[in-house]
Amino acid sequence: MRRRGLRVAAGLYVALIFLFLYLPIGILVLFSFNRSRLSTVWTGFTLDWYRELFSDYAIWLATSNSLIVGLASALISTIIGTMAAFALHRYSFRGKALFESLLQLPIVIPEIVMGVSLLAFFVLINMPLGVHTVTIAHVAFNISFVTVVVRARLYSFDTTLEEAAMDLGANRWQTFFRVTLPLIAPGVLAGFLIALTLSLDDFIIAFFTAGVGSTTLPMQVYSMMRFGVTPKVNALSTLILAVVIAIGVIGQFALRGKKERDPQADLAG
């Protein structure tokens, strides 16, 4: 009897927290389809706000800036981070612990401090702010995340496979590109995706390192929000939510499908 009561209470609590997490978002989405511009009363269904959104040049520009910065910074940080992960996994050397703490700093230091320090740096060296400065800044914090993710993948890597390849006559480069890289590719891809996500999501660092004309999408959203609550901001938020949730859900399922057909798991099993 008591156990059952406990279970009902737990179920209720879970439902309540989900309500707390989702109700505000639900209301936001709902009012993006509301006809009235000002009222919180439902006055009828419309897609006008979405139409207005799609004809707004500033939003298209911000979206393309975000994509350029996201892809470029993810690519650069994936290369640098993967190399660092290899070095840390394979070798031990003096100063390794020091380098590892340096690598953790961008993860723990408040983003606003990174933002203002980079702003001070770019101003000091007279570099005009633009898409490139945001990219440089995003690579600086993404390297650490990529290294952590790729390194975690390397722990489960079986080095005897490389030795087998070399025994069979492959040289170092052939071994790397034909054996090592395909095996760690899921880890490298995961690192790339995390870097891309963090870059697309970042507002604070972009806010300090972007210049005129290099506004990213989160910056555009922020400046619209500061003007107040409008159905157009609701519509933009709804679209971003839809894209993020779709990518997340697809990713989740793709990852699960992949796990079942994991070549390394097969070998290990």
Within 72-131, the residues that bind other proteins by CB under 8 A are 79-81, 83-84, 86-88, 90-91, 93-94, 99, 102-114, 116-121, 124
Residues in region 48-77 near other proteins by CB under 8 A: none
When asked if residue 252 is in the footprint of other proteins (CB under 8 A), the reply is yes
Q: How far is the CB of 123 from other proteins (least distance, A)?
A: 9
Q: How far apart are CA 60 and CA 54, in angstroms?
A: 8
Least Cα distance to 244 among 180, 200, 207 occurs for 200
Q: Closer CB to other proteins, residue 137 or residue 183?
A: 137
- Minimum distance of other proteins from residue 251's CB (angstroms): 10
What is the C-alpha to C-alpha distance for residues 9 and 259, in angstroms, rounded to an integer? 35
Dihedral (C-alpha) 130, 134, 137, 142: value to the nearest 10 degrees?
A: -150
User: 45-81 as b/e, with b when 16 or more CB fall inside 10 Å?
Assistant: eeeebbeebeeeeebebbbebbebbbbbbbebbbeeb
Q: Which of 136, 183, 206, 210 binds other proteins (CB under 8 A)?
A: 136
DSSP character for 213? Answer: T
Kindly tell me which of 24 and 128 has the beta carbon lying closer to other proteins: 24
Among positions 69, 205, 218, 235, the unique one binding other proteins when judged by CB under 8 A? 218
Contact yes or no for 177/163 (Cβ under 8 A)? no
* Contact flag: residue 44 with other proteins (CB under 8 A): no
Based on CB atoms, which residue is closest to other proteins, 45 or 227? 227
**If binding is defined by CB under 8 A, does position 250 make contact with other proteins?**
no
Q: Is 225 in the site for other proteins (CB under 8 A)?
A: yes
